[in-house]
């Protein structure tokens, strides 16, 4: 990203919310508000007139709501969009739909009054808006030939017993594609950490389940892991794996503090899987902001696990997988469309 300010258009039908979002965003000197809009019709006109770098978009608006505006905008003037969403079950459904239409990420709608989490909400909004300027949109052509760190020297594969996947920004769509690409007879269980609020993960797991030949469920304490099942860490809890012999492997949930400001943490999940399965693991790091997963991948790889990371050409945000590659703990950097095939190869030891 260059040194110029991130030019933001705020679209929200509430005068109060437009003002509040403006105050939050302009508190960071890297951000400039170039305009506001009161509904989707006004928003589309302002997108055309102002050419912002990033749009923050409310859901419930008159005349043309947020989803309608997003869908039309991604066809005619594709830009990075951050949805401003209510952390409710209904909000989860709408936000997941928005992610499927191409929005980059979402933030919790800030309260109109001061609350204990106001600072966290503001920091999250600012970080995601700044990140969004350089995000790659799903609707844009893939960019090939981008310079990426070289993966570690390839190693011989053995048979693996479990797959552990980490994702953050851009992850919902990446996971949707990955799970859809995997065959129904995939022979080992899959554990997934996607950075997402606790109100969203059950709905997200159901969406993945409907798209995949595998069964996908939100992880619960004591849930047994088995071939053909993928589990998603519930928001607000770290997913750990407990192995019992005899009896197989089971999910555990930890209420430990956030790691690198995220909960669930891929580092905790990866380290747990490494402790229980040693090197008989394939670790996968997909698109995402930050570096969660790198330390856990290092632990896995030190025990002989095989690590795959999504390459820059398909990442919405080349952050988590880049950090792992730069740390030298990645065996293969692959575009998203090649990862399912690589996983089948890895778990079958061919």
**How far is it, in rounded angstroms, from Cα 335 to Cα 350?**
20
DSSP state of 198: T
Structure tokens at 116: 């204990």
> Please, what sign has the CA dihedral across residues 126, 322, 274, 160?
positive
Q: 95: burial class by Cβ within 10 Å (0-12, 13-18, 19+)?
A: buried
**Looking at the annotation, which residues are catalytic?**
168, 195, 292
Please report, for the chain, how many H helices and E strands are present, in that order. 11, 15
Please report the DSSP string for 215-257 in residue order. Answer: EEEE--TTPEE-TTEEEEPPTTSEEEEEEETTTEEEEEEE-PP
Count of residues in the chain: 350
* Helix, strand, coil abundance in the chain, percent, nearest 5: 35, 25, 40
Q: Is the peptide bond before 192 cis (omega within 30 degrees of 0)?
A: no
Helix (H) or strand (E) holding 307: strand 306-310
| Contact assessment for residue 109 and residue 86, using Cβ atoms and an 8 Å cutoff | yes
**How far is it, in rounded angstroms, from Cα 321 to Cα 312?**
8
Q: Which residues is 241 bridged to in the sheet?
A: 251
């Amino acid at each position: 990203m260059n040194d110029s300010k991130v030019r933001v258009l705020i679209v929200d039908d509430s005068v109060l919310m437009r003002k509040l979002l403006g105050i939050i965003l302009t508190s960071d000197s890297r951000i400039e508000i170039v305009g506001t809009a009161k509904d989707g019709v006004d928003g589309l006109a302002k997108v055309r007139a102002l050419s912002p770098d990033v749009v923050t978009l409310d859901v419930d608006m008159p005349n043309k709501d947020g989803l309608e505006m997003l869908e039309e905008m991604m066809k005619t003037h594709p830009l990075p969009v951050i949805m401003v969403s209510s952390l409710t079950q209904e909000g989860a459904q709408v936000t997941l739909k928005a992610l499927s239409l191409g929005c980059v990420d979402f933030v919790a709608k800030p309260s109109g009054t001061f609350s204990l989490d106001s600072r966290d909400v503001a920091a999250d909004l600012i970080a995601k808006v700044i990140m969004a300027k350089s995000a790659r949109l799903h609707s844009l052509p893939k960019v090939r030939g981008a310079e990426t760190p070289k993966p570690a020297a390839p190693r011989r594969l053995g048979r693996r017993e479990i797959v552990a996947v980490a994702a953050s920004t851009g992850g919902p769509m990446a996971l949707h594609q990955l799970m859809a690409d995997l065959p129904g007879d995939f022979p080992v269980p899959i554990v997934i950490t996607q950075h997402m609020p606790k109100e969203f993960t059950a709905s997200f797991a159901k969406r993945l389940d409907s798209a995949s030949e595998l069964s996908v469920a939100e992880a619960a304490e004591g849930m047994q892991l088995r071939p053909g099942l993928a589990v998603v860490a519930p928001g607000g809890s770290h997913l750990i794996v407990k192995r019992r012999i005899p009896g197989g492997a089971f999910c555990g949930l930890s209420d430990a503090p956030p790691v690198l400001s995220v909960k669930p943490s891929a580092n905790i999940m990866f380290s747990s899987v490494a402790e229980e399965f040693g090197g008989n693991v394939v670790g996968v790091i997909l698109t995402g902001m930050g570096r969660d997963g790198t330390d856990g991948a290092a632990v896995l790889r030190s025990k002989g696990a095989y690590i795959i990371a999504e390459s820059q050409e398909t990442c919405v945000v080349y952050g988590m997988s880049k950090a792992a590659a730069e740390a030298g703990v990645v065996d293969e950097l692959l575009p998203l469309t090649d990862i399912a095939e690589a996983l089948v190869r890895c778990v079958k030891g061919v």
